[in-house]
Amino acid sequence: MLDKILFYFFAGVAVASAVLMVTRRNVVHSAIFLITALLATAGIFLQLRAEFLFIVQIILYVGGIMVLFIFVIMLVNLDVALQQIQFARQKWVALLVALALAGQVGLMFWSSRKMPGQGLPVLTAAAAEHLPANSEEVAKSLFGSYLLPFEIASVLLLVAMIGAVVMAKKRT
Amino acid sequence: MLPIGHYLFLSLALFIIGVLGVVTRRNVIVVLMSIELILNAVNINLVAFSRLYGDVAGQVFALFIIADAAAEAAVGLGIIIAFFRNRETVLADEMDLLKW
Amino acid sequence: MTPTGYFLDHLWLIPLFPLATAALMLFFGRRLPKIGVSMLCVGSVGLSFIYAVGAVLQLLATEPEHRVAQQILFEWLTPGPMQMTGGQAIPFVADWGFLLDPLSCVMVLVVTGVGFLIHVYSVGYMAHEGGYYRFFGYMNLFMFAMLTLVLASNMLLMFVGWEGVGLCSYLLIGFYFLKKSASDAGKKAFIVNRIGDAGFILGILLTAVTLGTIRFTSQGLPDAEGAAGILQALKAAVDTHALAYGAPVLTSIALLLFVGAVGKSAQIPLYVWLPDAMEGPTPVSALIHAATMVTAGVYMVARMNAIYQLAPFAMKVVAVVGVVTAIFAASMALVQNDIKKVLAYSTISQLGYMFLALGVGAFAAGVFHLMTHAFFKALLFLGAGSVIHAMSGEQDLQKMGGLWSKIPITAKTFAVATLAIAGIFPLAGFFSKDEILGHAFEKNPALWLVGFVTAGMTAFYMFRLLFLAFFGYSRADEQVEKHIHESPPTMTIPLMMLAGLSLIGGWIGWPLSLGGDARFQKFLEPVLSGVAAETGAEKIGQHELAVEYILMLASLSIAGAGIWLAYHFYRTKRIAPELAAGKWPKLYQLLLHKYYVDEIYDAAIVERTKDLGNLLGRFDANVIDGVGVNGAGWLARSGSTLSMWWDKWIIDGLLNFSAKLMQLLSYPVRLLQTGMFSSYAMLILVGLVVLLAYYGHHVQVLLRSVR
Amino acid sequence: MNIPFINGILSYLQGDGAAILPEMELVLFGLGILLIDFWIEQKDKYWNAGLALAGTIFSGFTVFRLRGAIVARGDLLGFHDSVVVDPFFIFFAALFLAATALVILLSVKYLQIEEEQEGEYYALLLFACVGMMFMASGIDLIVMFLGLETMALSFYVLTGFLRREKRSNEAALKYVLLGAFSSGILAYGFSLIYGLSGSTDVRNIRAAFDPRFGLARAIELSRQSGAIGGQMRQLLVTRYPAALHLEPSLLNQLTVLAAAAFVLVAVGLFFKVAAVPFHQWAPDVYEGAPTPITAYVSVASKTASFALLLRLFVTVFAASQETWMPLVAGIAVASLTWGNLAALTQTNLKRLLAYSSISHVGYILLGLVAGNGTALTGISYYLFAYVFMTAGAFAVIIVLRQKGLIGEELDDLNGLYQRSPAAALLLLIFMLSLAGIPPTAGFMGKYFIFLSLIETHHPVLAVFAVLYIVPALYYYFRIVVHAWLKQPGAAPRPSMTSAQAVALGVAVFVTLAAGLYPEPFTRLAQYAFGQ
Amino acid sequence: MDFLAHHILSVVLFTPLVGALLLLFIPRERENAHKIAGNVFGVLGFLVSLPLLRWFKPEWGGFTFEEAADWIPSIGAKYHLGIDGISLLLVMLTTFLGMIAILSSWSAIHLRTKEYYILLLLLQTGMIGVFVSLDFFLFYVFWEVMLVPMYFLIGVWGSDRRLYAAIKFFLYTLAGSVVMLLAILALYFYAPVSANGTRTFDVPTLLAAAQHFSDALKVWLFWGFFFAFAIKVPMFPFHTWLPDAHTEAPTAGSVILAGVLLKMGTYGFIRFSLPLLPADAAMRARIIHIVIVLSLIGIIYGALVCLMQKDMKRLIAYSSVSHLGFCTLGIFALTPNGLAGSVLQQINHGISTGALFLIVGVLYERRHTRMISEFGGLATPMPSFAAIYLIVSLSSLGMPLLNGFIGEFTILQGAFQVSKAWAAWGSLGVVLGAAYLLWLYQRVMFGPVTQFANEDLPDLNLREYATLVPLVILAFWIGIYPKPFFAFIEKPVQKIVEQVNPNFYQVQRAKLPPAEFHAAAAETK
């Protein structure tokens, strides 16, 4: 029951702030709503007993990425942009198509839930108390089975770093 | 945990909102944020499945996706800055030099 | 016993002499002196004549039923096996081979003899013309082709000569190529002839697939095995009842071949080229368009008589075409004012006689008339040439007159020829024409009647010509008047010799009824007797003497009547013809304009063909290229443009484009058009939705079918 | 010497490390470039290029050694089975390295002219190559995804490398936004695949999706008691733990969700290979990017994305080939149509080649439609040929780039023949190859594709595909017409550096050799799919 | 010598290529050296092909001078060369016309001579390759290779609308050939796999295998090949590239194009299309009917369109449509006569039309125009030219004793055995042929000289004689003594007919044999 309440709370917050993020005129507001949505997602992670990710989400996403966003928003002068129309002309069509997409995928989820033999594994998740300590498990996996992705991720981040530097630095 | 469908629909909602942001917003920064939202939706899926199977692979995947999101954000924002320096705009539809 | 001898073994030299000199003239003639050209060319024809005479004499040495000499030089056309109508596949071979039998004897003598005389005449006539060597080159080439035609041992080689003479006629008609009318006439001759040739070719092909051979006869060949001739094959087929009298296929062959003959021998409806052909130098008209080439059709039909005798319908067609042509051409000759045109129509008319003869089955009579006609018509043309020569090139009868005394030799020989053609006893024309009319009467009195009227018309227009040109007072320009002179001996001697031939040439066919022995007919008998009596082919019976005498008298009297009329029209009361013309102006104009046939052909065929060409050309340019190719190109381009538009206006944003076009595009499309990036993303989204929709549906269907 | 550190490294290199040795070398060289870049003078910047080239050569040599090793010992798996060194990887790694080397050779002069000679450029080239190689070698979704992103991020930066160029900025921005968007879609698809199979290992996923692997039976067995059940359970726990949770009756059918996952993954990948209708970034990026990078994007990024796509389609989705075949066919036909038609009226060379490359994607996807052995050979041959001929074509455009001449418009080619016959001849050969006229490599690629279509009874598609050669030839020959038949304007004679000459030489050699004597290349292409 | 004997075809094939490669090393500015080298290799190319004639044994009907080497073993493509009598004649025609075309360019081409001769020689290799390949893959490669040099010959050295014409030529032929590629691949695929599990592109093997295909498949294959060849021939209505290409091409290009390139279509019909005809009589009849009707339309259509042309080259180009209509008519009559005539007519067309284009080239070199209306009365200043032109025209319009007649008659004969109507329609083309060619001749050569510029046109020079006289001699030779030519093609033609029209010889056995027939005929005499 608690699970349920928690889930619906976080889900509601996430969706609402996501909607607000997309619709706000002011970019800074959007950023803040994105932060809210990400935090709510972190809550979902917690509810799913993924504590490590919960922390990562808050620190890396909210703490890191979003600060980056805010910096950039500050850097590029947005006073002008504020007065401009924020939405593309196609917004209504886009909405329709996006809803169609949502409908399709949603229907697929729905039908797989209802019909046997239609996909999603119907099984009860392992009891919470049987789950091993999350951080430990993740760490084991990360440096065990997923060592290579970890190494690649370092290259990826290196590339991102070089890229950001190359792109953002002023020309000498 | 709740039935997996809950998480799937939540993730779908965020995904769709992200997609909508990408296709409707003119401000490229918001577009980039919407993409972050999409990746976030992916993470919810991954973590939910991970919980379902009691398998951490999904969580690890989500971790890497967060890293990727960070990298993309960094590069994307860098490019936005370079673009802004040259063009004094962050509106997507003012990218109009390259066309037919 | 096969006839042999030096000349017979060297038959191939007869056409070769002129060919050699022709080649010499055409390649090196420009560098030879005129005298050399004359010697070589005339000499080579003379040599041919000598060889021809020699060969004929050697042939005559054998008994009549063996008078066939054949030699095959080499296999010419060997395109492999051919399937006959019956289904058998047999090897098809066309040889390069020569054949001398009584029929070709007559032809080869006429060709070389008259040809030689005309060559001699030409030396004088062409003396002052440019392109002397070219003229003789062509003439000798013609001799070669004509001799190939008459000596050919098979249809295809005959066709070689046939086309060759057509070509030379084209070249010689267009000899004065600076004149547009001359080159036009040459072209016309060639093309009209080609229409006939197409028929001839088809006839040859039909013969080949029907009988399996195109060789005229295998007689005289050392080895009959595998070398059947048409005659033998036909006989075999008739004997085995594979082909019967009147078989449609034989009629078809006969008619197809006759199409060829019609073209070459200027019969209705393909006669139109011959009058125009008078644009050529006069010796050419004499040689080609009177004596030899135009008679090739007659010769060919006579040569194929075996088939014709089995095809009664074709025979009827030949007779009718011949007789109609005869009277039709004669009627046009009545009013012509160009001296050569009169002779040209006369030639057509006389050729019509010959076909009449062939058509009624009197092949020998036809050939006989061919020969006599060669004599007197060549003479007429040469005489006309002499007149033209004297008149400094004037050809209009209206501007002549009173030449009798000024050019006496020409005038007298001309008169002989005129009498001969009018059929006055005992000149050559009398015998041959009488023979024809006799046979025609036997066959069908209606045919005779038409021929009979034509005879009168012939006499009329010929004497009209004679009176207008040689009698009365001179109507020539003074300049011309002053220069009138008799031609040089090189021209007059041939005239006289031909006059002699016209006079006595007919005597070899002196009919039985007049106490002769019809040697000519008997001579030709072995060749012209067809395959077999029992096939049902009607043989020409002997008619009663009384009828024959009456017919002869009738002929003579109608000729006399014609002469009398001409005399009264043109000699005594010169005014009369205008009156006659005034009385029936329409008829007169009709005749004068040659029934407007040229105009009709031009309008109905020539121009329409050109129009068709034009139309098709435009079709090519516009429809096939336009719609097909450029259309595909256009389609691709506009497809490209469309897709470009899609990217540019629908994807890249309508904003940059004029408002008008924007309105044209529908509202939802415009909704896509805010910014480029968004629309790119939008398209990805749409693509995703579409794929998902398709795929989802696909899977649903699949699942349903599984369940 | 028994130094633990060295020993550790050595044992690592003999174990897991061997599987990623080529990538590691590239990374090391990339880092080296970043380091020495600080010390070298502006005019000596070509040392960066030299070092990068050395990196590719080293790596290439290592790949060659690995090839020997796997011939002797079979496929090499490493890092808990997340990468594999198999012929597929060897083939594609060699292609990527070749493309990278060509692009490096072509970049030196270009960067000099553009006055952008940072070492980062070459480092990013190498890192992109690393990403691509992981795309080819990864058999784990995470590795694949990270490889893809490494490559993509490098490309975003490289595209925008000419920061002063507005068009370069714009291209980079479009690229990064659209690329990230498509990555998001791809990741979403991956998450669903993970959800359906409970594993990120491609082989496990395949087992879950493909009835021929008998996973359902294994699970059922594992639930029985007894020795066999125990063994089977043990096997599953080590190999595929999530399978223990799967319901056997639900396995092995193409479910609705799998379809959704497929479409999402496919869209993500179709975007990367620039298939219609996910192609629209390509012309813009091609035009805006520095030309060597255009070549690199066009050649390597596309090939790498195809490597990833093939790995997934012929393993994970192989079982449902006949259901997705019409869909891929539709995409292929659309790509052919759109690419060819849109290219007809282009006047910018790079855009033209962009559209033409879209049509090439169509041909390769048709190979996927056929999907038999010949088709796989054809795809690899086509990609192989495509790398060299496209690189060659871009190389000519790069040679044209001089001070004061952009050389990207068709009109800039006018009279190229008079200015540089060699360049014109090379251009002709590449155009013929791109159009698929024998005896060039491009023809052989098309040959296999057409043959496979006939073998799998797709005559209509085959006719369709061959007929598109005709418009393709038309626009390729528009280029030739400008180069050969138009009168030159005032444009200067292009001068070719030796590096460019080497690159062009290699490209033209391969293009012609693979057309004139295709045997070794055919074997190579067959080798890639273990045939 | 031994090497030559064993690799004669390769030698013939690659001699021009060697020339082209050598020319690469001659500096650009040495124009005369290019000309000399080009001509030397042109002549050499012809000379090395002469032993073929000598060593060829007409009585052997199959392929000879075969050479085979592995090329792409993994797909079964081989370097397999070989010729029979039909290809022999076409190869000889190619080397001969190639030599003449090269010679004819001596003074016509001053621009980029080096490339010009290189391309001509390359083209030469491509064309020979098509005729000697016995491997479908190799054949296709040569087939396409040839397009490129021809494209440049038209596109660089052509006249005003050269770009349009060149690309039209290229695209048209390419469109056909890509479809052919599919047909080849289908043939390759549907043929049974050999014992050791490999497939092959070998022409004889595949064509033999095709005999066992289902009729439906054969029909598809037939049409697949048909389009490529029909465009190349070109048959109505695929012919519109031809006038443009011929008109715009330089003289040598037109000569090669008309003389050799078009023959590839007809050659393809004979070699590849005929064996693919379905066995079912009704289906076969329907196909043949379509093709024949197209041929007949082509014959008459081409001739009619000629009548309205104002451009000499265009006129001659359309006349090719007409003449090639005869060739296809002969081929699809499926009789020995038709086929033999068609092959010979292909040679004839090469000679006559090649010569006609040379003649236009002579005029074009002097006046730089091809408009008929610009000429008139040329017989006066150029008598020798007039003579040769006349002979060539006559040869083209089928005058007996010249080559054209032999071909046309034999074709008509072949067609006549099947259908009298076909032959009748065909003979209409003969009539029209005379009309347009003589009309052209008259307009150009006869009449007074109307244009000042034409008054002092020089007559043929020695080089022009050298290009034209051999053709004229050949025209007479074939016209007067075609037996050796027929001898070359008799056996191959027989083989083809036995295969595609077995009734032809069977009926003969069933009914009265000719010997008895004639013996009977002889007895009754």
Cβ contact, residue pair C685, B94, below 8 Å? no
> Domain of B47: which CATH number?
1.10.287.3510
Do the two chains E and A touch, given a threshold of 8 Å on CB pairs and at least 3 pairs? no
Q: Is residue E21 part of a domain?
A: no
- List residues bridging with D496 in a β-sheet: none
Residue B97 lies in a domain: no
Over the range A106-144, which residues count as b (16 or more CB within 10 Å of their CB) and which as e?
Answer: bebbbbbbeeeebbbbebebbeeeeeeebeebbeebbee
Question: Whole domain around residue B42: which residue ranges?
Answer: 4-90
Q: Which of B19, B22, B93 sits opposite C676 (nearest CB)?
A: B93
Closest Cα of chain A to B24: distance in Å? 5
Work out the minimum CA distance from A47 to partner chain D, whole angstroms. Answer: 18
Rounded distance, CA E186 to CA E190, Å? 6
- The nearest alpha carbon in chain C to A85 belongs to C674
- C28-42, C190-204, D203-217: the lowest-pLDDT one: D203-217
Q: Do A90 and C692 touch (CB under 8 A)?
A: no
Contacts of C682 in chain A (CB under 8 A): 90, 93-94, 97
Mutate to test the interface with A, among C665, C671, C701 (most CBs of A within 10 A): C671
pLDDT band per the 50, 70, 90 thresholds, residue A77: low
Contact D166 B31 (CB under 8 A): no
Task: Indicate whether E327 belongs to any domain.
Answer: yes
User: What is E288-313 written as a DSSP string?
Assistant: HHHHHHHHHHHHHHHHHHHHT--BHH
Q: Quick one: average pLDDT of D483-499?
A: 82
Q: Do B98 and D170 touch (CB under 8 A)?
A: yes
Neighbours of chain B (3+ CB pairs under 8 A): A, C, D
C542: contact with A, CB 8 A cutoff:
no
Distance from CA of B60 to the nearest CA of D (A): 9
Q: Closest Cα of chain C to D373: distance in Å?
A: 25
Q: Which of C418, E422, E137 is closest to D517 using CA atoms?
A: E137
Using one digit for the tens of pLDDT, what is the confidence trace for B72-93?
999 999 999 888 888 887 777 7
Cβ-nearest to D187 among B28, B42, B58: B42
User: Would you call C675 and B91 a contact, using CB atoms and an 8 Å cutoff?
Assistant: yes
| d(C-alpha A151, C-alpha A160), whole Å | 14
Q: Between C and E, how many residue pairs show a Cβ–Cβ distance under 8 A?
A: 222
| Total structural domains within chain B | 1
* Chain A residues with beta carbon closer than 8 angstroms to that of B79: 167
Burial class (CB within 10 angstroms; exposed 0-12, middle 13-18, buried 19+) of E180: buried
Q: Is B7 on the interface with D (CB under 8 A)?
A: no
CB contact under 8 A, E483 and C76: yes
Q: Cβ atoms within 10 A of the Cβ of C600, count?
A: 12
C687: chain A residues, CB-CB within 8 Å? none
Name chain A contacts of B56, Cβ cutoff 8 Å: 134, 137-138, 140-141
Residue C488: in which H helix or E strand, if any? none
- B31 within a domain of the structure (yes/no): yes
Whether the pLDDT of residue D1 is over 70: the answer is: no
- pLDDT exceeds 70 at position A119: no
* pLDDT over 90 (residue E519): no
- Per CB distance under 8 Å, which residues of E are interface residues toward D? 70-75, 140-141, 144-145, 147-148, 151-152, 155-156, 162-163, 167, 170-171, 174-175, 178-179, 181-182, 185-186, 188-189, 220
Q: Does C83 touch chain E (CB under 8 A)?
A: yes
Q: Is D191 on the interface with A (CB under 8 A)?
A: no
Contact D177 B4 (CB under 8 A): no
Which of the pair, D277 or A78, is modelled with greater confidence?
D277
Q: How many residues does chain B have?
A: 100
Confidence of residue C699 (pLDDT cuts 50, 70, 90): low
pLDDT at D452: 93
Return the partners of chain E (3 or more C-beta pairs < 8 Å).
C, D
- CB contacts of E199 in chain D (<8 Å) are none
- pLDDT, one tens digit per residue, over C619-662 is 665 555 555 545 544 544 554 444 334 434 443 333 333 333 33
Q: What is the pLDDT of residue C577?
A: 60
Range of the domain at E377: 302-525
Q: Do chain B and chain C touch with ≥3 beta carbon pairs under 8 Å?
A: yes
**Which of E401, E427, E510 shows the shortest C-beta gap to C160?**
E401
| pLDDT at E193 > cutoff 90 | no
* Structural domain contains residue E437: yes
C653 to chain B, any CB pair closer than 8 A? The answer is yes
CB-based contact, C679 to chain A, within 8 Å? yes
Nearest chain D Cα distance for residue A108, angstroms: 6
Residues above pLDDT 70, as percent of chain C: 81
- For residue C483, with 0-12 CB atoms within 10 Å meaning exposed, 13-18 middle and 19 or more buried, which class applies? exposed
- C681 close to B (CB below 8 A): yes
Q: Do A164 and B20 touch (CB under 8 A)?
A: no
pLDDT in tens, D149-160: 999 999 999 999
User: What is the pLDDT at residue C603?
Assistant: 65
Q: Which of C349, C517, C310, C546 is nearest to C433 (CA)?
A: C349
Considering only CB atoms, C647 lies closest to which of B94, B95, B100, namely B100
For chains B and C, count residue pairs whose Cβ atoms are closer than 8 Å.
40
Beta-carbon neighbour count of residue D178 at 10 Å? 24
pLDDT at A159 over 50: yes
Chain-chain contact of C685 with B28 (C-beta, under 8 angstroms): no
The whole-number average pLDDT for the span E105-113 is 85
Burial of C208 (0-12, 13-18, 19+ CB in 10 A): buried
Query: What percent of chain C is predicted at pLDDT more than 90?
Result: 3
Instruction: Give yes or no for D459 touching E (CB within 8 A).
Output: yes
Which pLDDT does position C657 carry in this prediction? 39
**For an interface test with A, which of D37, D81, D118, D142 has the most A Cβ atoms less than 10 Å from its Cβ?**
D142
Residue B98 lies in a domain: no
Read off the pLDDT of each residue in E240-267 and give the average, rounded to a whole number: 89
The pLDDT of residue D299 is above 90: yes
Determine, for residues A72 and B77 on separate chains, whether the beta-carbon distance falls below 8 Å.
yes
More confident residue, A86 or D7: D7
pLDDT of C616 reads 67
Compute the distance between CA of residue C121 and CA of residue C706 in angstroms, rounded to an integer: 105
Instruction: Give chain A's mean pLDDT.
Output: 82
In chain A, residues with a C-beta closer than 8 Å to the C-beta of C656 are none
**Shortest distance, CA C202 to any CA of chain E (angstroms):** 7
In the predicted model, what is the mean pLDDT of chain E?
87
C685 near B CB under 8 A = yes
Of D10, D140, D6, the C-alpha closest to A148 is D140
C335 within 8 A of C309, measured Cβ to Cβ:
no
Nearest CA among C703, C648, C653 for reference residue C674: C653
Q: How many domains does chain E have?
A: 1
Chains A and D touch (3+ CB pairs under 8 A): yes
Contact between residue D172 and residue D156 where contact means Cβ atoms under 8 Å apart: yes
Q: Do D166 and B52 touch (CB under 8 A)?
A: no
Minimal C-alpha gap between C642 and chain B (Å): 12
- The verdict on residue E306 lying in a domain is yes
Token couple for B31: 């577009």
Question: A1 with B3: CB under 8 angstroms?
Answer: no
Quote the pLDDT of residue C654: 34
pLDDT band at C131 (very low <50, low <70, confident <90, very high): confident
Bridge partners of C89, per DSSP, are C83
CA-based end-to-end distance of chain E: 57
**How do residues E67-103 score in pLDDT, each as one tens digit?**
999 898 888 899 999 998 899 999 999 999 999 999 9
pTM comes to: 0.89
Does residue E464 register a pLDDT over 80? yes
